[in-house]
Amino acid sequence: MKLGSAAEVRGAEAVAAFFKGRAQAATPVLIDGSVGIRVAPGGRLLLVLRPTIVDGRIIDVEAVADRATLAGLVLDDLPG
């Protein structure tokens, strides 16, 4: 999330609108072995997004930007 934006966004359309146009620095990764998204503009890790997926649908997305927490995560590129 962008600093100064809403702390929580609900609903598929609202979430899609929130992220529209903001994906340039986002890449899919494994975060501690689970699928997630790394946001690293200019190669500098800004935050990760950790989705919760149930029955093939994303039901929640946690944005983690705390530097200490980020430093403790294992981020791996997705294979091929």
What pLDDT digit, counting tens, does each position of 60-72 carry? 999 999 999 999 9
pLDDT (0 to 100) of residue 2 = 46
CA distance 80 to 77: 9
Instruction: Please report whether residue 29 resides in a domain.
Output: yes
Within-domain flag for 70: yes
Count: domains in the chain? 1
Instruction: Provide the residue range defining the domain that includes 49.
Output: 12-77
Decide if 22 contacts 64 (C-beta within 8 A).
Answer: no
Summarize the confidence of residues 9-36 as an average pLDDT: 83
pLDDT computed for residue 24 by the predictor = 78
Domain membership flag for residue 50: yes
- Choice between 8 and 77, residue whose per-residue pLDDT is larger: 77
Strand pairing category for 47-54 and 34-39: antiparallel
Under the banding of pLDDT at 50, 70 and 90, the label for residue 4 is low
**Is residue 27 domain-resident?**
yes
Q: Is residue 66 part of a domain?
A: yes
Mean pLDDT of the chain: 86
Local confidence band at 22 (pLDDT 50, 70, 90 cut-offs): low
Distance of CA 25 to the CA centre of its chain: 11
Q: Does residue 7 form part of some domain? A: no
